[in-house]
Structure 1
C-alpha cells in the first residue's frame, strides 16, 4: 500500500510503498477513502524537517541537553550515531482519516465490516486504529465532510475547557482550519464570536457566518476593538488557535479579557507570560490537550478501556461523535472550508510549498481497493535463496534500529525479513540495512522455509508467545531479554523447547563483550568462589512508560537486571541457588527500579546487583567489581577495565563495547554453520528463574531458593 511519510533529516515528503498493517486485538482495519491534511500541524513538521541541524537544536533545547548527558556516559561517537539514526526515522503524516471498515480485531463489537468510519489514522491506503479512536459516520454525512471529525474535535476540546455560556463573548485568535471550526461551534453554542487573523480571505469566510473579525494587518488593534465591542468589559474567554513563536498573542489575550476571564491555548505560541497581566484580573489559563480526555492514555487508546460517562462525559471518541452529529444536523458546515481535493498520487500539490499555501483544508482522495492490501513487500533481491539461513527480525523499534542492525553490518548475515506493526519503520530499516523483505505479518515469516532463525525484539509481553510460535514452526530463536515475564510463560517455553530440536538464545550480550572475556580469562579456571558487585546506574524512566507496566514490560528488574545475573553467572562459572532482594522505600512493589539483589551461587560465589534509578547521570551507567584471591577488577561503563594484583595486566580501554557485535557475529556463524545455542539453556533457565525469585523475595521478605 502507499503511505505519506516525512524525513526529519531532510524534510522530504514521500509517497512510500509499505506493507499494509495487520488487524490486531481491539483495533479496526480501515480502507481509506479520504484524509484531511492538517496544514498547521503538518506544515510545522515539514518545516522542522527541512531546517538544518543548528536550527533543529535551537528549536529543541531540551533534546540538546539530553544529547550532552548521553555524551558524558556513552561517548561522543556513539551519541552522534544515535542522533543521526533518530533524525533518519521516517514520520507518518496525517491524523484525519475516513473510510470503510474491512476487518475488526478480537474484542471489537462496536463496528463491523462495511461500516463507514472516521479515525485518527494517517495518510495511508489502509490504516489500523484502536477502537476508541474510531467513530461511526452518520448516513447524512459524506466522507468529505467526515474528514473534519478529528481536527474538529481539537477545537471542540478547547471550547469545553473554556466552558462558554449562552451570550458570552469569546475571541478566537487564529482563523486557520481549527480556528474557523472553533468559531462555528461557538456560534452554535449561542456565543458572540470575534475572530482575529491576518488573512483577509479567512476573515471574509468567518464574516459570512456572522463572526465579528479583526485584521491586525490593516491596522486594527485587537485589544481596543474587543474592548469597544464589549463596552469596556472585555472578552469572557479567549481561545488561541494560532501558531506563532511571538509572545504578543498571550499578552493581547490577557489584555482583552475581562476580570476572571478564561484563556485556553489550542495552538502553539510563545509563552513568556506577564504576571501583571494575569494577576490584576485573576485570569485563568489552560492548555488544551488534543482531542480530549483519553489522549495519550494507553489504557484508553491502546487497551480500549473507556472512561465511565457519568464521570467523564466527553472523551476523545465522544468528541468525535459530537462533531459528526453537528455536521449531520447542519450546525457545523465544513463544505466551505474545502479548498481542494487532490488524488493521493498528486500529494505534492499540497506538500510542495505548504509555507505559502493559501488553502484552508486540503483533502487527499484514495482509489485503493482490497487488491492493494498486501502485508509483505520485497525491498531487495535475496542472494541466499534456498540456503535456509535467513534471519527474520520481529520488531523495528529503537533497539533494533540503534543496536541490532548496526551490529549486524559487519556480519555475513542473511537478513531475510523485518517485521513491524505499522510497516513504515520496518521498510525504512530494510532499505537502510539491505533486508530483503518488509512485512507486518510475522506468522508468514514462520511459514517461510528459508527462515532459519527468528529474532524477537518486540516489547517484553510478546517474547514468550512468539518464542513458542517460532519453536513450534521449527525455527531457532534469538529473543531479547527477558525470555518471559512470569513462571507460567517460562513453563510454556520450556515445554515447547523440550519437544523441539531447535535452539533458544537470549540476548544477554554483556557476557560477549571483550571486557567480560578478558575478566573471565584473568580470573582463570579454578572455579574458586569470587565476589562480584555490579551497579546499574540506570536512570529514571517516567512511570507511564511501558517498561513499568507489569503486563507489558514486567518491570525493570525482570526486564533489565537479568543482564547482570547472567553476567555474574558467566564470571563465576556457576549457577544461582538462592536470591534475596530489597528495595528503596517503605512500600516497594514488584515494579521498583531502586533495588539491591543478593545472589548465592553453587560454588560459593556471591553476587550483588545494585539497580538504581536515582543516581547522577554524570556517574558511570554500569560498573562491575570482582574480588578474588587478593585481586580486584574494576570495569567502568564497558569502556575501561582496571586490574589490581594481576601479573602482567593493569588496564584495558576502548570505545564502549557491551558485546552486541560479538554476540551477533557468533549468532550469524551459528545460523550459517549450525551448532549449539550461544548460551546453554540451563544457564538461561537459571537466570530467568532467579529474576522471578528476586520479585518473590521482595514480596515475602526472605531468601528464595532457585
Structure 2
C-alpha cells in the first residue's frame, strides 16, 4: 500500500510503498476512501521540518529539554545517536479520513467489515491507503452522509469541542478570528446552534465563504470594511460586544489575542481553538474580567492512551462529550441537513498526486480551504513487502536475522552495530506501523518488511529473531521463537510476570532450545569489564550498591502503563540485577524490596546471593533529571570500586588508586551485539547462560512480590511457582 511521509531532517515528502497494517485487537483495519488535509496543522508541520536545527529547537523547546536531559545522563554520543535517528526517520501526515472497514480486530463490538466509518488521530487516521484505527477514534457514517464530507469529521470534532468549551447558547453572539477550514466549520456550527456568528480573516475570499455559510458579517483586519464590521457587531450586541471570541488562527502574532479583548463584552469568554501566541494584554483583559479558555483538540479522551489506544470509554454520565461523541455529533448535524460542507471542498486529488499537492500548498500555489485525497477502491494485497533480494556471498556463512519491532532505542543503539556486516543479513523487519518498517528498511537495508510476526517464525531460512517490542509482548514472542527453533535476542525484560517467565522456560524445555540472549548490555561495557578484572577474585563476600537516578516518567509514555507493560523496576531494574550477578559471579537467592513514597516505581531492593554477596539497588524516580543517571560502588576483599555513569571509574587496592576513563559513555550495546552474532556464527555457548537470564528476571519479579507482601521473596518461588519462605 502507499503512504505519504516526510523526513523531519529536511522536510522532503515521499509517497512510500509499505506493508498493510496488521489488524490488532481493539481496533479495525480501514481502507481509506477520502482523507482531508488540514492546511494549518499539516503545513505547519511541513514548514517546521524545513527549519534549520536551531529553528527546530526554537519551535520545539519541549524536545530541547529532553535532549539536555539525555545529554547529562547518557553523554554526547548516545544523545547524538538518538537525535540523528529521529531526524532521519519518516514521519506521517494526516489525521482525518473516511473509509470502509476491511477487517475487524478481536475485542471489538459495534463494527463490521464493509461498514463506512470516519476516523481520527494523528497516529492512526493517516494519509495512507489502509490504517488500523482503535475503536474510540472511529465512528459510523450515517447513510445519507457522503464520504467526502465525512472525511472532515476529525476537524469537525475540534470545532465541536471549541464550541462546547465556550458554553455559548441560543441567541448569543460570537466572533471567529481565523476563517480557515476549522474557522469555517465553526461558523456553520454556531449558526446551527442559533448563535449570531461574525468572522475575521486576512483573506477576503475566506470572509466571503464564511458569509455564504451564515456569518452575519465578516471583514479583513485593517481592511476598508473593518469599521463597518465593528459597527455591525456593536448593533447586534447593543454596544456590549461579543459574548464569546473563538481564536482559530495560527502563527506567532499576538494580534488575534489583542483583537479578541477589544471585541469582547465585559466578562466575555475567549476560547483558543488554534495555535497562536497568547500574551494576554493585562489592561484590556483585567478591566473586562475576561475569561481565557483553551480547547483540547477533539475533546475529552484526547492524549489519553487508555481512552484512545485501549478503547476504555468515559461513562457518559460523567463525561458527556468525548472526542468520539464529538465526531459522531458532527456527522449527525450533516445527516440532519444542518451542516453542509460541500462549499468548503476546494479540490479532490488522486492520492498518487499527494507529494505535488503538498508542494503546491506549501509554495502558496494552492490556497484551497478543504482539500481531499481520493483513494483507489482496492482490497489489501499483502501485509509483507519484498524490497530487494540479498546478494549471495559464496563461502561466507551469514546469519539471517528477523527483527520484530524497531523503535528509537533499537534504531539508534542496537541495529547500527549489525548494519553492513558480512556475516549478518538483515532479512526481515516486522513492525506494528508500516512507516516504522519503512524507516528500518531505509536505514538498515532489510530485504523485506511486514506487519505479521508469524512470517519470521515460519521462515525456515531465518536463523535468529530479535524481539525489540514493548515489554508486555516479550515473553509470548520469545516463547514462539524458541518453539520455532530460532535463536533469540530480546531486549530487556525477558518477561513482566511470573506466568510469562514460566512460559519462556517451558518453551525452552519442550523445544530443547535455550539459544537465548536478553539485552543486559551493561556487563559488556568495556570500562566496567576493565574495572572488574582489576578488582580481582570473587571468593569472599562483597557488597555492591547500584544507584539509578531514573527520574520522573512522562505520564504519556507507554512505560507508564503498568498493567500492560509492567512496572519500571521490572522493565529496567533487570539491567542492574544482571550487572550485580555478573560482577559477583554468583546466583541470586532472594529479594527484599520497598517502594518509597507515592511512586510505586521508586524502589529500594536488596538481593542476596549464594556466595554470601549482597547488592542494594536504589531505583530513584524523584531526583533531578539532569543529574547523572548511574553510580556503582563495590566493597570487598579489602578493595573498593566505583563507576560513575560509565564515563569514569576507580579501583582502590592496598591504598593505591587506579583510575579508568572512557572517551564516551559506553554501556556495552555494541559489544553485546557482537557477542550475540559471534556465538551464533561460531556455534559456541550463548554469552550469558540461560539460567542466569531467567534468574535475573525472577529477581525483579520477586522484588515486586516483596513490596506487596512486606517480606523477602525467593527467586525459586518465581521460577517454579512453589512456596519458598525466606522470611
TM-score by length of 2: 0.93
For residue 533 of structure 1, the aligned residue among 545, 548, 557 is 545
Instruction: Tell me how far 1:12 sits from its aligned partner.
Output: 0.9
Residue aligning to 1:375: 383
For residue 471 of structure 2, the aligned residue among 444, 447, 460 is 460
For 2:571 and 2:214, the matched residues in 1 are separated by: 59
Instruction: Tell me how far 1:653 sits from its aligned partner.
Output: 2.6
Q: 1:628 and 2:636 equivalent?
A: yes
Q: Would you say the 8 A contact 1:557–1:592 is kept in 2?
A: no
For 1:598 and 1:48, the matched residues in 2 are separated by: 48
Helix, strand or coil for the counterpart of 1:193? strand
For 2:65 and 2:314, the matched residues in 1 are separated by: 37
Residue aligning to 2:184: 180
Residue aligning to 1:203: 207
Residue aligning to 2:512: 501
Q: 1:315 and 2:319 equivalent?
A: no
Q: Which runs of 5+ in 1 are unaligned?
A: none
For residue 157 of structure 1, the aligned residue among 144, 161, 168 is 161
Instruction: Tell me how far 1:388 sits from its aligned partner.
Output: 7.5
Q: Would you say the 8 A contact 1:223–1:255 is kept in 2?
A: no
Helix, strand or coil for the counterpart of 1:218? coil
Q: Which runs of 5+ in 2 are unaligned?
A: 716-727
Spell out, residue by residue over 1:545-584, the C-alpha distance to the aligned partner (whole angstroms, 9 max, x if none).
Answer: 2213222221111111111111000000111112111222
Residue aligning to 1:619: 627
* Higher mean C-alpha deviation, range 38-47 or range 86-95: 86-95
For 1:116 and 1:396, the matched residues in 2 are separated by: 32
For residue 213 of structure 1, the aligned residue among 210, 218, 227 is 218
Instruction: Tell me how far 1:542 sits from its aligned partner.
Output: 2.4
Residues 49, 558 of structure 1: alpha-carbon distance in 2 compared, 3 angstrom cutoff: same
Instruction: Tell me how far 1:368 sits from its aligned partner.
Output: 4.4
For 1:663 and 1:635, the matched residues in 2 are separated by: 19
Spell out, residue by residue over 1:51-99, the C-alpha distance to the aligned partner (whole angstroms, 9 max, x if none).
Answer: 1112112222333333233333333343233222212221110111111
Residue aligning to 1:421: 432
Spell out, residue by residue over 1:485-529, the C-alpha distance to the aligned partner (whole angstroms, 9 max, x if none).
Answer: 111111111111101232121111111111232233223344222
Q: Would you say the 8 A contact 1:265–1:288 is kept in 2?
A: yes
Q: Would you say the 8 A contact 2:303–2:556 is kept in 1?
A: no
Residue aligning to 1:390: 400
Residue aligning to 1:328: 335
Instruction: Tell me how far 1:2 sits from its aligned partner.
Output: 0.3
* Higher mean C-alpha deviation, range 443-452 or range 77-86: 77-86
For 2:4 and 2:517, the matched residues in 1 are separated by: 38
For 1:147 and 1:385, the matched residues in 2 are separated by: 50
Residue aligning to 1:404: 414
Instruction: Tell me how far 1:605 sits from its aligned partner.
Output: 0.8
Residue aligning to 2:674: 665
Instruction: Tell me how far 1:648 sits from its aligned partner.
Output: 8.8
Output aligned runs, 1:285-296, within 5 Å.
Answer: 285-296=292-303
Helix, strand or coil for the counterpart of 1:650? strand
For 2:393 and 2:200, the matched residues in 1 are separated by: 64
Instruction: Tell me how far 1:10 sits from its aligned partner.
Output: 0.9
Residues 52, 375 of structure 1: alpha-carbon distance in 2 compared, 3 angstrom cutoff: same
For 1:58 and 1:525, the matched residues in 2 are separated by: 53
For 2:698 and 2:65, the matched residues in 1 are separated by: 39
Spell out, residue by residue over 1:570-613, the C-alpha distance to the aligned partner (whole angstroms, 9 max, x if none).
Answer: 0001111121112222xx5xx62322111111111111111111
Output aligned runs, 1:410-559, within 5 Å.
Answer: 411=421, 412-502=423-513, 503-559=515-571
For residue 169 of structure 1, the aligned residue among 155, 168, 173 is 173
For 1:581 and 1:325, the matched residues in 2 are separated by: 55
For residue 710 of structure 2, the aligned residue among 682, 701, 704 is 701
* Higher mean C-alpha deviation, range 335-344 or range 593-602: 593-602
Output aligned runs, 1:107-146, within 5 Å.
Answer: 107-120=107-120, 121-146=125-150
* Higher mean C-alpha deviation, range 427-436 or range 23-32: 427-436
For 1:416 and 1:165, the matched residues in 2 are separated by: 61
Q: Would you say the 8 A contact 1:388–1:449 is kept in 2?
A: no
* Higher mean C-alpha deviation, range 467-476 or range 171-180: 467-476
Across the two proteins, how many residue pairs are aligned to each other?
A: 701
Spell out, residue by residue over 1:325-347, the C-alpha distance to the aligned partner (whole angstroms, 9 max, x if none).
Answer: 11112111111111111111111
Q: Would you say the 8 A contact 1:98–1:143 is kept in 2?
A: yes
Q: 1:361 and 2:376 equivalent?
A: no
Q: Would you say the 8 A contact 1:19–1:423 is kept in 2?
A: yes
Residues 352, 577 of structure 1: alpha-carbon distance in 2 compared, 3 angstrom cutoff: same
Helix, strand or coil for the counterpart of 1:551? helix
Spell out, residue by residue over 1:130-179, the C-alpha distance to the aligned partner (whole angstroms, 9 max, x if none).
Answer: 01111111111111111111111111110011111111001111000010
Q: Would you say the 8 A contact 1:388–1:450 is kept in 2?
A: no
Instruction: Tell me how far 1:180 sits from its aligned partner.
Output: 0.3
Spell out, residue by residue over 1:337-363, the C-alpha distance to the aligned partner (whole angstroms, 9 max, x if none).
Answer: 111111111113420132413111111
Instruction: Tell me how far 1:208 sits from its aligned partner.
Output: 1.8
* Higher mean C-alpha deviation, range 390-399 or range 172-181: 390-399
* Higher mean C-alpha deviation, range 391-400 or range 377-386: 377-386
Residue aligning to 2:718: none
Instruction: Tell me how far 1:229 sits from its aligned partner.
Output: 4.2
TM-score by length of 1: 0.96
Q: Would you say the 8 A contact 1:223–1:252 is kept in 2?
A: no
